[in-house]
A and B are shown apart, each in its own frame.
Chain A
């Protein structure tokens, strides 16, 4: 089955950019997503990218997709303390099934 990996932890200073990385194994994945989860809460969809795109920008968020290397990244510009959370990448496979990455905990320091 699909395997989606992320680094576990990232610490950045407020105002800096954050880059969260994700790798996946299934090259036939159609949509790839980034979700944010705050403690004790559900998932908030941040953005998604279709597999025929290389980049998508949405305000402070930039998603880069390298299909050849099966690598997805999320860049958060001007990171704020409110961005502290766990970020999951997810990959859409057959029958609308999502496979989630292991999650990256983003810590924003002052």
Chain B
């Protein structure tokens, strides 16, 4: 089956620094990638949708200048949390699909971000 990886799996950073999380589709071309955020014991909330080569579409309430998303190739999307603060600590999960009309999304294993 299709595999999506994320790197790093865990990261601890100091308040005020920026952190980059990578999401890769390993054996298929992902025209669309999604970024989700999950707080402890809560559901996944969609943050943004990114299509290869175009700007990401952010969900209401998500700061695009704080969560920078780049989808430069068909196998890689990155999420950069800029000027991180403790309230940004969360579990970030990406998913990828082979097309806008595709009904199958493949999820990465997630990245645990802790901001101290």
Contact = CB atoms under 8 A, between A and B. Distances in A.
Q: Do A and B bind each other?
A: yes
Interface of A: 30-31, 35, 40-45, 48, 88, 92, 95-103
A95 B49 contact: yes
- Interface band, chain B: 20 to 34
Contacts of B102: 96
Interface of B: 6, 32, 34, 42-46, 49, 93, 95, 97, 100-110, 112
Given A95-B100, A103-B43, A45 B107 contact: yes
Given A99-B46, A102-B43, 19 more contacts: A30-B103, A40-B110, A42-B107, A42-B108, A42-B110, A43-B95, A48-B103, A92-B103, A95-B100, A96-B49, A96-B97, A96-B101, A96-B105, A98-B95, A98-B105, A100-B43, A100-B45, A102-B42, A103-B42
